[in-house]
Amino acid sequence: MESIVLGIVQGLTEFLPVSSSGHIEISQALLGTESLKKQEGLLSVVLHAATALATILVFRKDIATILKGLFSKDDKEQKQFSLFVIISMIPAAAVGVFFDDLLEQLFEGQLVLVCCMLLLTGVLLFFADRAKIESTEKLTWGKALIIGIAQAVAILPGISRSGATIATSILLKVDKAQAARFSFLMVVPLILGKMAKDILDGKLQLSEDLAIPFAAGFVAALLAGVVACQWMISIVKKSKLSYFAYYCWLVGSVGLIYTLV
């Protein structure tokens, strides 16, 4: 049941701009499950794999078009979009490669950091929602790189990846529909790359007693992720990010009070 709860939390919060990593840290602290904490790194990979699959399912036509455009000489627009995705991956990939050990320390019960970053996420979402910027422009090389930097910063627990990348896209005047599509697609190669790295490093070793709980968490994250991904696209188009800003402030504030008191 605890694995299913964490799967639902991961699936919903991966796409909603409220930080999945922050909510997982808070949820694990509240659940206090020692058996899952011992496999925390592997659990994170399993749940992220589920949300990556959810993204692939929701955007399967887009991904097929992008892959086709990448190797096509005629479809310049799709080829350019594919290259933008690759460019956006560079900052986060660099952080993951060179600061992997430091990042693991940040994800070890640092609830005060998580809550502070949730408050910061709320500020970013509120500012992007109230900026009243006309989001009608297309992506460019420079904008893809800046959005990629925002994604790299969002590796910190408590900073929402989707919130940071979509808010940055809006502030850069990128079309909202394209911003949401780009934000969700740009994370898939990173998750798959992280999984490949962990497999090569020998970190993905699952004990038999956790196989069923992890499978249940995977399914829960997948189903919740499909729903949340489709929901978030609609929310971005309607520009109601401020609602999530209030939520982040509430959770961050309550979390700080709970942790410090």
Residue 202 phi, psi dihedral angles, 5° rounding: 75, 25
* Domain region containing 202: 2-260
For the record, the structure tokens of 62 come out as 């887009």
- The DSSP output letter for 17 is T
In this prediction, residue 261 carries a pLDDT of 75
Tokens matching residue 215: 């499978």
**The pLDDT of residue 246:** 94
**How many C-beta atoms surround the C-beta of residue 45 within 10 A?**
20
Q: Write out pLDDT tens, residues 12-46.
A: 888 888 888 788 878 877 776 655 555 666 777 78
Distance CA 41, CA 146 (A): 28
At residue 239, the 3 state secondary structure works out as: coil
Residue with tokens 């990593």: 21
**pLDDT tens profile 55-69:** 888 888 878 877 776
Least confident of 126-130, 131-135, 151-155: 131-135
How confident is the prediction for the chain on average, in pLDDT?
81
Tokens 């058996």, located at residue: 35
Number of domains the chain contains? 1
pTM above 0.85, yes or no: no
How far apart are the C-alpha atoms of 163 and 90, rounded to whole Å?
19
pLDDT in tens, 192-227: 777 777 677 666 666 677 778 888 989 999 999 999
Better pLDDT: 149 or 236: 149
* Distance (Å) of CA 16 to CA 72, 81, 99, 163, 261: 33, 23, 26, 7, 29
Residue with tokens 């898939």: 188
Residue with the two structure tokens 């709970």: 258
